[in-house]
Amino acid sequence: MKDAFGTPQSLLILGGTSEIGLATARRLIARRTRTVWLAGRPSPALETAAERLRALGPAGQDRVDVRTVAFDALDPGTHEEVLGKVFAEGDIDLVLVAFGILGDQAHDEAEPLAAVRVAQTNYTGAVSAGLVCAGALQSQGHGSLVVLSSVAGERARRADFIYGSSKAGLDAFTQGLGDAMHGTGVHVMVVRPGFVRTRRTAGRPETAPVAVSVTTPEAVAVAIELGLRRRSETVWVPGALRVVMAGLRHLPRPLFRRLPV
């Protein structure tokens, strides 16, 4: 259960090597989160991430219990069994859906199957895992489900419309899921970061709509923690993006095409 300050005591990250997910875990461990599950494809990177989180906790009985579980977003037929086993080990206060791939727009336009993989990972996999986790949280009667969307899903851009369309679908799904969970004790929050500087985006042009939208995993983690305390339904990172996108959302397409975005 969450403590008196609303801090989750247990955390499940789908996408266990996600830099945003791990930055969030570090912040919450500092606030006394003591059980962390990292779900992802088995790899040395996943085990290393778990070991580093264990090292953050205090010694003794209050140490951080960090476990890994094999999870594949592209294999939704396994989600109910895999995630069901996690919830069977004890209540989960916070589920963070942090997996996703950027793809390569030029390559994926030429190779439709590659574009399908982006859509299946970012949307289909998240729909499956999100529904399984929401159902488990509802059975508990409490908990938060936080889903990482993207500002790219707010309006399709020439530069990344395949990735953006997958996030648009995920964003709409999460909003609807939040409405479905209203009144059940389950809190659903969608997070819309701008361009996040990570190892995955290193070397890529900062193609977010405007320069003000560039952010970091640590800044997103801070916004997630604040959103949890406020029980927000939507979080923009940086917050100024909410105003920027309110304007861009309604810009006529002939004008939008001319923007350097």
Catalytic residues: 163
| 208: its two tokens | 């977010």
- Buried b vs exposed e over 185-203: b needs ≥16 C-beta within 10 Å? ebbbbbbbbbbbebeeeee
**Can you tell me the distance from the alpha carbon of 144 to that of 233, in angstroms, rounded to the nearest whole number?**
10
Longest dimension (CA), the chain: 62
249 burial via Cβ count (<10 Å: 0-12, 13-18, 19+): exposed
What is the rounded CA–CA span in Å between residue 144 and residue 223? 15
Lookup: tokens for 119:
């859509």
Amino acid sitting at position 189 = M
Contact (Cβ atoms closer than 8 angstroms) between residue 6 and residue 38: no
Q: Which helix (H) or strand (E) holds 164?
A: helix 161-181
Q: CB–CB of 145/134 below 8 Å? A: yes
Residue that the structure tokens 């890994």 belong to:
68
What residues form DSSP beta bridges with 65?
35
By the 8 A CB rule, do 96 and 146 touch? yes
